[in-house]
Amino acid sequence: MEQQSPLDHFLSFLSALIDPDLRFHPLYLLPFFVMAFLLYLYHRRRGLHDGQGFFKWLFPKDVYFHPSHITDIKLFLLGQVLTAAKAFNMIVVMTLFAGLTILAVGGEVSAKPLTVGRVLLVTIVITLIRDFCVYWVHRLHHELPVFWPFHAVHHSAEVMTPVTVYRKHPVYDLISSFVKNIFVGIFSGLALVFLVGQIQLTLIAGVNIFYFLFNALGSNFRHSHIWFSYGPFWEKIFISPAQHQIHHSLEPRHHNKNYGEIFALWDWIFGTIYIPAGREDLQFGISKSSTSNERIAQPHPTLKTALLVPFRDSWKALKRRRKKK
């Protein structure tokens, strides 16, 4: 096998940065800039900013040069290095559980041909399964003290930019990926027996069509300083950028709300939805308590602390739980 040179590795890394799965792909950045400009004009007309130019409004120095954002960038770069491990997790776990499901139902792979309708149905169901798993993994990381420290890395962001979506501890990413792949694998096994002879999704640019639309139509505003609401009706169905910013808010009334990624249905069904009546002024970070809107000192000021502190805090939470027993 021919050994790759350092240049080859670097070029592979650069190609990963324009992967259509990433929100920085030009197909997502172009609509982001168009929508941002329309929001800028709307905000200016309503007197919601002090008249600065578009790019100063979109990329304020106090946000993009904030130490919290620098940590975001470091965690994003680390995440790209670990991309191969995520892909391995997906392939192995999904294949394993699809195979076990086929054996469990005692069936054989269907001979039914692929049709547009069947492919679209599989795409819809897999999208719903993944989003449902995201809701519960996210919620349990908030509600279980042993898991919370790994998700706290994401919530310790004091400012938000589109990079903040990648401010995740590898353990959180591993758990989330593992759970999603188990349930998508089980469904894939059932689909292979009862619906189609092979799993194929409806794609745009190699991405699940629904995730493509989600990324193209405003997902980069979710972690940003820009308020973008869908309005009360649509926010019962889809999680808007404003709703996700509320999820990051220090305000006690916002705590433990809006866990969903694409769909607000799960929050609505399970009683965790918060729909804003209008624009709200938000501050981000981790509050001192469930009844406080005062931010704690930054627990993850560096990449090292972002990676190591969660293990310490999770171990402390586990010991406290054992003492209670």
> Per residue in 82-130, pLDDT tens?
887 778 888 899 999 999 999 999 878 877 888 899 999 999 999 999 9
- Can you tell me the distance from the alpha carbon of 86 to that of 178, in angstroms, rounded to the nearest whole number? 9
- Can you tell me the distance from the alpha carbon of 86 to that of 78, in angstroms, rounded to the nearest whole number? 12
Residue 22 covered by a domain = yes
Q: What is the pLDDT of residue 238?
A: 97
Residue 250 covered by a domain = no
Q: How many domains does the chain have?
A: 1
Q: Which run of H or E residues covers position 204?
A: strand 203-204
Residue 211 covered by a domain = yes
> Per residue in 254-289, pLDDT tens?
999 999 999 999 999 999 999 999 999 999 999 999
Q: What is the pTM of this model?
A: 0.89
Residue 305 covered by a domain = yes
Q: Mean pLDDT for the chain?
A: 90
Q: Which single residue is written with the structure tokens 């919370």?
A: 148
Instruction: Please give the residue range of the domain that contains residue 118.
Output: 11-223+299-324
Residue 282 covered by a domain = no
- Can you tell me the distance from the alpha carbon of 146 to that of 320, in angstroms, rounded to the nearest whole number? 10
Residue 230 covered by a domain = no
Helix pair 6-17, 67-81: axis angle to 10 deg: 120
> Per residue in 201-237, pLDDT tens?
887 877 889 999 999 999 999 999 999 999 999 999 9
Q: Which of 35-49, 117-131, 135-149, 158-172 has the lowest mean pLDDT?
A: 35-49
Residue 251 covered by a domain = no
Of the candidates 297, 164, 168, the residue with the CA atom closest to the CA atom of residue 225: 164
